């Protein structure tokens, strides 16, 4: 029988999945209802793809998995993005929810 010898929190992947989940819901909100239903004034102005695109690229260029600061940022962002995605439920634009991502090592 295999046993787990270590579990690592994947901060950068968690951030990426959180941003994608909110981008998907926001993109669907825009296409179904228009920008007036979006709460974030920046997204209302420039649109979901430029907004989430910049955040995703900036994260990809700077995020470090082994940095405790990024781990804290990932959990905070995950919580905020989970709340943000849940605000899309009444409009039925949720595609997926953000997830906390872990990696297990097995022996």
pLDDT, averaged in runs of 10, over the chain (107 residues) = 80 96 96 93 96 95 93 96 96 96 84
Q: Which residues contact 76 (CB under 8 A, 6 or more apart)?
A: none
pLDDT of residue 4: 66
Domain segments of the chain: what residues? 4-106
The pLDDT score that the predictor gives to residue 6 is 82
Instruction: Note the pLDDT of residue 105.
Output: 78
pTM, two decimal places: 0.86
**Residue 23, pLDDT score:** 97
CA–CA dist 86, 92 (Å, integer): 10
């Amino acid at each position: 029988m295999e046993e787990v010898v270590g579990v690592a929190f994947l901060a950068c992947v968690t951030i990426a999945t959180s941003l994608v989940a909110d981008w998907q819901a926001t993109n669907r909100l825009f296409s179904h209802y228009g920008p007036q239903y979006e709460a974030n004034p920046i997204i209302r102005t420039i649109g979901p793809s430029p907004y989430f695109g910049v955040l995703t690229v900036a994260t990809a260029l700077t995020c470090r998995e082994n940095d405790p600061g990024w781990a804290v940022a990932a959990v905070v962002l995950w919580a905020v993005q989970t709340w943000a995605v849940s605000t899309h439920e009444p409009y039925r634009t949720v595609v997926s929810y953000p997830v906390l991502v872990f990696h297990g090592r097995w022996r």
